[in-house]
Amino acid sequence: MSIRLHRRLSLSTIRRQVVGINQKVPIYNGQRIPYVNFDNAASTPTLKPVLESILDFLPWYSGVHRGSGYKSVISTATYDAARIQIAQFFGADPDYHVVIFGKNTTEAINLLADRLQFEPGDMVLTTLMEHHSNDLPWRRVAKVVRAEVDAKGALDEQDLEKKLTLYHRRIKLVAISGASNVTGWINDIHRIAALAHNYGIPIMVDGAQLAPHRAINLLPPSDPAHVDFLAISGHKLYAPFGTGVLIGPRPVFERGSPRYVGGGTVSLVTPLGVEWATPPAKDEAGSPNVIGVIALATALTVLEELGLDKIEHHEQSLIDYALGKFGRIPGLKIYGSTQPQDVNRLGVMSFELEGYHHVLVAGLLAFYGGIGVRSGCFCAQPYIQRLLGLDGTALARLRHDLYTGKARHLPGLVRISFGMYNSPEELDRLVEALQVILSYSPRYWQEQLVWDDSLECYIPRDKRFTLGIEPIS
Ligand SMILES: Cc1ncc(COP(=O)(O)O)c(C=O)c1O
pLDDT at 406: 79
CATH for 11-45+307-460 (3.30.110.40, 3.40.50.2300, 3.30.450.20, 3.90.1150.10) = 3.90.1150.10
pLDDT at 471: 60
Determine the Cα angle at 21 with ends 16 and 24, to 5°: 140
Taking CA atoms only, the protein residue closest to ligand 1 atom 7 is 105
Cβ burial of 398 (10 Å; 0-12, 13-18, 19+) is: middle
Among residues 82, 319, 377, 379, the one annotated as catalytic is 379
Decide whether 11-45+307-460 matches 51-304 in CATH topology: no
Taking CA atoms only, the protein residue closest to ligand 1 atom 12 is 208
pLDDT at 392: 92
Cβ burial of 300 (10 Å; 0-12, 13-18, 19+) is: buried
Q: Give the residue extent of every domain in the chain.
A: 11-45+307-460, 51-304
Residue 28: left if φ>0, alpha if ψ -120 to 50, beta else—which one?
alpha
Cα 208 to ligand 1 centroid, rounded to whole Å: 5
DSSP 461: -
CA dist 175 and 192 (Å) reads: 10
What is the architecture, at CATH level 2, of domain 51-304?
A: 3-Layer(aba) Sandwich (3.40)
DSSP 16: G
Say how far residue 287 (Cα) sits from the centre of its chain.
25
Residue among 40, 44, 104, 105 whose CB has most ligand 1 atoms within 8 A, to mutate = 105
CA dist 318 and 346 (Å) reads: 10
Question: Which residue from 292, 300, 238, 308 is spatially nearest to 47, judged by alpha carbons?
Answer: 238
Cα 207 to ligand 1 centroid, rounded to whole Å: 8
In the three-class reduction of DSSP (H, G, I as helix; E, B as strand; rest coil), residue 321 is classed as helix
Residue among 101, 177, 379 whose CB has most ligand 1 atoms within 8 A, to mutate = 379
Ligand 1 atom with the smallest distance to the CA of 108 is: 11
CA-based end-to-end distance of the chain: 30
Query: Would you say the CB of residue 106 lies under 6 angstroms from ligand 1?
Result: yes
Question: b/e per residue, 237-262, with b = 16+ CB within 10 A?
Answer: bbbbbbbbbbbbbbebbeeeebbeee
Cα 81 to ligand 1 centroid, rounded to whole Å: 26
CA dist 153 and 129 (Å) reads: 7
pLDDT at 470: 66
pLDDT tens, position by position, for the chain (473 residues)?
A: 678 888 899 999 999 999 999 999 999 999 999 999 999 999 999 999 999 999 999 999 998 887 789 999 999 999 999 999 999 999 999 889 999 999 999 999 999 999 999 999 999 999 999 999 999 999 999 999 999 999 999 999 999 999 999 999 999 999 999 999 999 999 999 999 999 999 999 999 999 999 999 999 999 999 999 999 999 999 999 999 999 999 999 999 999 999 999 999 999 999 999 999 999 999 999 999 999 999 999 999 999 999 999 999 999 999 999 999 999 999 999 999 999 999 999 999 999 999 999 999 999 999 999 999 999 999 999 999 999 999 999 999 988 988 888 777 889 999 999 999 999 999 999 999 999 999 999 999 999 999 988 888 899 998 888 877 666 55
Cα 179 to ligand 1 centroid, rounded to whole Å: 11
- Whether 379 sits among the annotated catalytic residues: the reply is yes
Question: Which residue from 227, 232, 286, 214 is spatially nearest to 86, judged by alpha carbons?
Answer: 232
Residue type, 188: D
pLDDT at 455: 86
